[in-house]
Structure 1
Amino acid sequence: MAPDWNERFSDSEYAYGTEANTFLADNATMLVDPVLSIAEGEGRNAVYLATQGFRVHAVDGSEAGLEKAARLAADQNVTITSEVADLNDYQTRPDSWGSIVSIYAHLPRPLRIKLYPMLVQALKPGGISIFEAYSESQRGRGTGGPNDLELLMTCRKIEEEWKGLETILLHEIEREVHEGKFHTGMASVVQYIARKPEQN
C-alpha cells in the first residue's frame, strides 16, 4: 500500500532527513539551470540545489511536504518555488527546463510511460536528467522503498521509458543509503544520468 504522503510528512521530523541525496549532490555540477524536481517531498534536494545557485521548482502531491520544503529553504536562506500537483495530471511546457531531477519517485508503469516522455520534451536541448530509484533487487530488504515490483526500477525499464536522451550513466549498484528513518542501510539502486541532444 502506498504511503499517505501528507500523513508521513505531517510529523515535525523530516522523514528522509534534510541532507541531499548523495548521488544527486555528487553530480550536481552537471546540472543546467533551471531545475525541475519531481516528487520532491520535504525539500531536501531542492533546497540543496538552491544553495548551489540553481533556480529550483519543486513538484509534489503533498502540501504538507512542500510546506516543510519552504521552511527548510528559509532555514538555509535560499528560495525555491513549489507546486502541489498529482503527477498523473502534471503538465509542463516543452524546452522549459535545463535539468530534471527524480530521486526515489517510485511510480506505477502507466504513469511513468505518460510522464517520462513529457519530461523528456520539457528538457531544453543539452539539458540533463538525473534519476535514482530503488531497483527490483531491493524488494524485501527492509532498508527502504516499496515492495511492489511495478514500482521498483531496472536498467531496462529506464531504457524503455526515458527515450530520446543520450545516456551518460546507467547502472544498478548496491550502496549504503542513509536518508532519514525510511531510507537506511545497504540498498540496491538504479542510477541514471542523461542529456537531451542539442538540436541541429
Structure 2
Amino acid sequence: MDTEAARQFWNGRYDRPDYLFGEAPNAFLVSQSARLMPGLGALAIADGEGRNGVWLAERGLSVTTTDIAPRAVEKALALAARRGVSLDAQVTDLEHWDWPEAAFDVIVAIFIQFAPPAARDRLFARMKAAVRPGGLILMQGYRPEQIAYGTGGPRQVENLYTEALLRHAFAGYDILHLELHDSDVSEGDGHAGRSALIDLVARRP
C-alpha cells in the first residue's frame, strides 16, 4: 500500500466520533510505568488517535507522537487538550520521515504491524538509531497465533512477531523483558477479545 492509499485507509478508519482503539493507554505500556520518568523524551510511533502519547505526557514526559492519518492526529490533539497536556503531534509516513538520530529516551511502538517484512526491517533500524544510548524501546505486537483469534491486527502472518524475530532484530540490545502471552484486550472496537501478544523492552547499550 503506497503512502496516499495508506493515509486514506487510516483516515477512513479514524473518521468517527469515538476513538477506534479507545482513549485509555495500552495495558503493556502502563505496566512499564516504573521505567517512564518525568522529563524523559518519548516518541510514540504510529500512535493513532494519541491514547498512548497523551498518557505519556500526563506522566510528565516530553512526547512526540506520529501517525500517517491527519484525522488521527487531529483527534490526538483534541484528546491532549481535554487532558490538559501538550504533544508534538506530526502527520507523517514513517517510511519517509526524517528520523532524528539518538534523540529520544523512550520509543513506544504499540501494534505497528502495518509494515511488511522489508519495511519493518527499515522501521526497526530507524527506531534503534533514534533512541539514545541507554534509552528504551517498548513494543507490543501480535504473534502469528493471533490470526486464529481474529480480534484485531493484520491478517498477513508475515507482519506478525515471533520471539526469534524480535531477538534477531534487537541483537546487541539489552533485552530487559520479552514475554509471550495470550490475554484479553479491550481497546475500543479495534482490539477486543482474547489476543496472542508479545511484549518487548529493549535497552540500547
> 2:62 aligns to what?
55
CA deviation map 1:5-38 (0-9, x unaligned): 1001111110000000010011032136100011
> 1:92 aligns to what?
99
Match of 2:185 among 177, 181, 194: 177
Larger mean Cα displacement after TM superposition, 59-68 or 113-122: 113-122
1:21 aligns with 2:29: no
Q: Extract unaligned runs of 5+ from structure 1.
A: none
> 1:7 aligns to what?
12
Counterpart CA distance in 1 for 2:171 and 2:181 is: 22
> 2:157 aligns to what?
149
* RMSD of aligned residue pairs (Cα, Å): 1.5
Counterpart CA distance in 2 for 1:91 and 1:158 is: 24
> 2:73 aligns to what?
66
1:130 aligns with 2:135: no
Runs of 4+ in 1 over 3 A off after TM superposition: none
Q: Extract unaligned runs of 5+ from structure 2.
A: none
Aligned residues: 197
CA deviation map 1:120-171 (0-9, x unaligned): 1111111011000111110131211111101111111112223332100112
Counterpart CA distance in 1 for 2:166 and 2:98 is: 21
Larger mean Cα displacement after TM superposition, 178-187 or 160-169: 160-169
Counterpart CA distance in 2 for 1:153 and 1:66 is: 26
> 1:105 aligns to what?
112
Match of 1:192 among 192, 197, 200: 200
Counterpart CA distance in 2 for 1:56 and 1:20 is: 14
Contact 2:50 2:76 in 1 (8 A): yes
Query: Percent identity, aligned pairs only?
Result: 33
Counterpart CA distance in 2 for 1:164 and 1:93 is: 21
Counterpart CA distance in 1 for 2:138 and 2:84 is: 25
TM-score, structure 2 length as denominator? 0.92
Q: What code does the residue aligned with 1:48 have?
A: W
Contact 2:47 2:65 in 1 (8 A): yes
SS of 2:65's equivalent in the other structure is strand
Contact 2:170 2:202 in 1 (8 A): no
